[in-house]
Structure 1
Amino acid sequence: MIRHLAGNLSLLRGGSGALLVLLHPLALAGQLWRPLAAKLDGFDILAVDLRGHGESPWDGKPFSIEDMADDLGVTLDVLGLDEISLLGMSMGGSVAMTFAGKYPERVRSLVLADTTAWYGENAPTAWAQRAAKAADTARADQLPFQLDRWFSPGFRESHPDEVDRVCEIFLHTDSHAHAAASVAMGELDARPLLFSVRAKTLVLAGEHDYATPPSMAGELAGAIPGATLEILPALRHLSLVEKPELAETIHRHLTETA
């Protein structure tokens, strides 16, 4: 995959075929998707670094999930891309559903993994506390909390190289951008946009994901017209990293949509 800068976003691009944009979780980056992208044959893949993440710049000012969705729109305009398929996981899923709700004519098909439109009434307070920890705690000291959420114990034991790869992406994420994005997640409420989504939508949720549990996925699938829900046995929050073989499920959904 080759790195590009389009608009204010850096991205990795590779493959050929139908266009598929991948949006990563909080405090990670587009390179997270390399194993999954390698299994998604037949697609021109854009793995985006969202604002302040990876190699994408950030001006230090507060921003919202909607701002991140608008960043994507600008990048697509710069690249001359009108209609896309879109996959987002966790924070990336929140950005993806916001984009698909604001610009329904631009999204042909949608995959939302381990994500939500709203974290609940107490979200602003809870996420503000997480933002403070992200900014004030050494990044390496944040990893135990993250690892328990991201991966099942069995995967951590059996795939240490892949776990280390994801940890390195996290360690290189700017702490203050991580904090700003956490505040944005706390303020997220994309529920009013879900009814506007036109894209054929697949909602995926790890069975043991306690960051965005299956109940949240069920609410998404119930609100997005025609959406399909699939619960993934034994997986946690980074389901598509732990099991890149899910590329087959994604490929089938995107192909059926096309």
Structure 2
Amino acid sequence: MNRTHAGTLSLLRGGSGAPFVLLHPLALAGELWRPLAARLDRFDVLTVDLRGHGESEWDGEPFSIEDMAADLAGTLDVLGLDEISLLGMSMGGSVAMTFAGKYPDRVRSLVLADTTAWYGENAATAWAERAGKAAETARPDQLPFQLDRWFSPGFRESGPDEVDRVCEIFLHTDSRVHAAASVAMGALDARPLLPSISANTLVLAGEHDYATPPSMAGDLANAIPGATLEILPGLRHLSLVERPGLVTMIRRFLENV
């Protein structure tokens, strides 16, 4: 995959075929998707660094999930991509559903993994606390909390190289943008946009994901017209990283749309 800068965002791009954009979780980057992207060579795969993450720009000012969706729209304009398939996981899923709800004509198919449109009544307070910890705690000291959420205990033992790779991406993320994006997640409420999504939609959730549990995935599937829900046995929050073989399901979904 080759590095491209389009507008304010940076991305990796490779493969050929219909465009398929992948959006990463909080405090990670488009590099996360490299192993999955390698299995999608029949698509023009674009793995985007969201605002302030990876090599994308950030002016240091507060921003929202809607701002990140607008960043994506601007980047696609620069690239001349009018219609895409779109996958987002966790924060990337929140950006993806926001984009699909605001720009329904631009999304042909949508995959939402381990994500939500709303974190509940106490979201702002809970995420403000997380933002404070992200800003004030040394990044290596944040890893135990993250690892328990990201991966099942078995995978942490059986896949140490992949676990270490994800940890390195996290460690290189600016703590300030991690905090700012956490505040944005606390303010998220994309529920009003969900009925406007016209893309064929697949919602995925790790069975043991306690960051965005299957009940949240069920709410998404119920609110998005015609959406399909799949619960993934044994997985936690980074389901598609822990089990990249799920790309077969995703590829089948995209090719049958």
Q: Above 0.5 in TM-score?
A: yes
Counterpart of 1:132 in structure 2: which amino acid?
G
Corresponding residue for residue 117 of structure 1: 117
Query: Which runs of structure 2 are paired with 1:19-168 in the superposition (5 Å)?
Result: 19-168=19-168
What is the CA distance between 1:39 and its match in structure 2? 1.1
TM-score (norm 2): 1.00
Counterpart of 1:131 in structure 2: which amino acid?
A
Q: Deviation per CA, 1:93-126, whole angstroms, max 9, x where unpaired?
A: 0000000000000000000000000000000000
What's the secondary structure of 2:149's corresponding residue? helix
What is the CA distance between 1:209 and its match in structure 2? 0.1
Counterpart of 1:19 in structure 2: which amino acid?
P
State the alpha-carbon separation in 2 of the partners of residues 32 and 56 from structure 1.
14
Q: Deviation per CA, 1:51-107, whole angstroms, max 9, x where unpaired?
A: 000000100000000000000000000001100000000000000000000000000
Counterpart of 2:168 in structure 1: which amino acid?
E
What is the CA distance between 1:218 and its match in structure 2? 0.1
Counterpart of 2:2 in structure 1: which amino acid?
I
Q: Deviation per CA, 1:146-191, whole angstroms, max 9, x where unpaired?
A: 0000000000000100000000000000000000000000000000
What's the secondary structure of 2:69's corresponding residue? helix
For the Cα contact (< 8 Å) 2:24–2:92, is it kept in 1?
A: yes
Matched, 1:212 2:206: no
For the Cα contact (< 8 Å) 2:14–2:41, is it kept in 1?
A: no
For the Cα contact (< 8 Å) 2:69–2:96, is it kept in 1?
A: yes
State the alpha-carbon separation in 1 of the partners of residues 223 and 5 from structure 2.
34
For the Cα contact (< 8 Å) 2:131–2:179, is it kept in 1?
A: yes
Query: Which runs of structure 2 are paired with 1:178-217 in the superposition (5 Å)?
Result: 178-217=178-217
State the alpha-carbon separation in 1 of the partners of residues 188 and 118 from structure 2.
6
Corresponding residue for residue 239 of structure 2: 239
What is the CA distance between 1:41 and its match in structure 2? 3.0
State the alpha-carbon separation in 1 of the partners of residues 2 and 40 from structure 2.
16
What's the secondary structure of 2:205's corresponding residue? strand
What's the secondary structure of 1:231's corresponding residue? strand
Percent identical residues: 83
Structure 1 moving runs of 4+ over 2 Å = none
State the alpha-carbon separation in 1 of the partners of residues 134 and 12 from structure 2.
26
Counterpart of 1:187 in structure 2: which amino acid?
A
Corresponding residue for residue 2 of structure 1: 2
Where structure 2 has 5 or more consecutive residues not aligned to the other structure, the ranges are none
State the alpha-carbon separation in 1 of the partners of residues 39 and 155 from structure 2.
19
State the alpha-carbon separation in 2 of the partners of residues 25 and 171 from structure 1.
14
What is the CA distance between 1:40 and its match in structure 2? 1.5
Q: Deviation per CA, 1:26-50, whole angstroms, max 9, x where unpaired?
A: 0000000011111123100000000
Count of residue correspondences: 257
Counterpart of 1:49 in structure 2: which amino acid?
D
Where structure 1 has 5 or more consecutive residues not aligned to the other structure, the ranges are none
State the alpha-carbon separation in 2 of the partners of residues 39 and 236 from structure 1.
21
What is the CA distance between 1:203 and its match in structure 2? 0.1
Counterpart of 2:7 in structure 1: which amino acid?
G
State the alpha-carbon separation in 2 of the partners of residues 223 and 194 from structure 1.
6
Counterpart of 2:223 in structure 1: which amino acid?
A
Q: CA RMSD in A?
A: 0.4
